[in-house]
């Protein structure tokens, strides 16, 4: 447009004429310029609007992609935590089983701690593949360890009584029966089977074909139970 304007006003005597006659009125050219300016202004405004809409769309797509990436990252993080929790539980369980095997070695394999996994669950009752606690309070009534300690305390009281008040009477007989019963229950709750319990004389049966105790070996077996309980308690303080 500027070229046409300057050509019309400054090169009017050019040796050829334009196919379209141009006005020499400045007012008309001013109106024409205003029209063109308006057209370009409108086109520019529309271009700006479309640009903003495009940028908004791009931003929305980027935000959606970022949200998806964030969701994927959270999912992966959750899975990693699950794997870590699983490994933590398995390591703790393996350490407990290893500790039980060490205990069997301490007593020269004269007893066997059967069902070690079940014993682990009885003591660490709240542990799972999602949560693992390394310790449990000996006063926690939900843990079988609390029951083991109570049985052992009752056994000690019965032994103390018999040592100081032993007479051949009905009370002492009941105390002896209670003592044998508590030792049997303690070994049963701990899934312990004494390998040297089979004897021709003195074997004690509680409705089973295989004896768990022998009356002539009670003191020895009680000492072994004490060692087992002591080692299990010690395991709670390991990290």
Q: What is the pLDDT of residues 49-104, one digit of tens each?
A: 899 999 999 999 999 999 999 999 999 999 999 999 999 999 999 999 999 999 99
- pLDDT band for 5, please (50, 70, 90 cuts): very low
Higher per-residue confidence, 102 vs 6: 102
Token output for 58: 């791009």
What was the pLDDT predicted at 94? Answer: 95
170 pLDDT above the threshold of 50: yes
Q: If you average pLDDT over residues 165-183, what whole number do you get?
A: 76
| Residue spans per domain, the chain | 87-235
Highest mean pLDDT: which range of 86-95, 159-168, 189-198: 86-95
- pLDDT band for 23, please (50, 70, 90 cuts): low
**Residues 186, 229: Cα–Cα separation, whole Å:** 10
What was the pLDDT predicted at 212? Answer: 56
User: Against a cut of 0.75, is the pTM above it?
Assistant: no
Contacts of 153 (CB under 8 A, 6+ apart): none
Higher per-residue confidence, 131 vs 20: 131
Token output for 148: 């083991």
Look at the alpha carbons of 102, 97, 124, 182 in this order and tell me if their dihedral is positive or negative: negative
201 pLDDT above the threshold of 80: no
What was the pLDDT predicted at 179? Answer: 83
- pLDDT band for 204, please (50, 70, 90 cuts): low
pLDDT, one tens digit per residue, over 118-156 is: 999 999 999 999 899 998 988 999 999 999 999 999 988
């Amino acid at each position: 447009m500027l070229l046409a304007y300057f050509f019309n006003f400054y090169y009017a005597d050019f040796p050829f004429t334009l196919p379209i006659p141009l006005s020499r009125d400045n007012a008309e050219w001013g109106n024409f310029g205003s029209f063109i300016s308006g057209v370009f202004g409108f086109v520019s405004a529309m271009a700006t609007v479309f640009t903003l809409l495009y940028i908004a769309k791009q931003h929305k797509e980027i935000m959606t992609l970022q949200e998806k990436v964030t969701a994927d990252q959270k999912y992966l993080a959750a899975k990693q935590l699950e794997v870590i929790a699983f490994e933590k539980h398995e390591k703790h369980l393996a350490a407990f089983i290893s500790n039980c095997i060490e205990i069997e070695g301490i007593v020269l394999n004269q007893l066997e701690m059967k069902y070690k996994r079940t014993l682990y669950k009885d003591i660490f009752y709240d542990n799972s593949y999602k949560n693992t606690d390394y310790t449990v309070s000996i006063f926690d009534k939900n843990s079988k360890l609390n029951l083991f300690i109570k049985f052992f305390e009752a056994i000690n009281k019965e032994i103390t009584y018999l040592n100081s008040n032993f007479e051949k009477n009905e009370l002492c007989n009941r105390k002896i029966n209670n003592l044998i019963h508590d030792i049997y229950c303690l070994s049963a709750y701990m899934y312990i089977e004494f390998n040297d319990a089979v004897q021709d004389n003195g074997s004690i049966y509680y409705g089973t074909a295989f004896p768990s105790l022998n009356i002539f070996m009670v003191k020895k077996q009680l000492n072994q139970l004490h060692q087992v309980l002591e080692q299990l308690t010690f395991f709670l303080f390991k990290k």
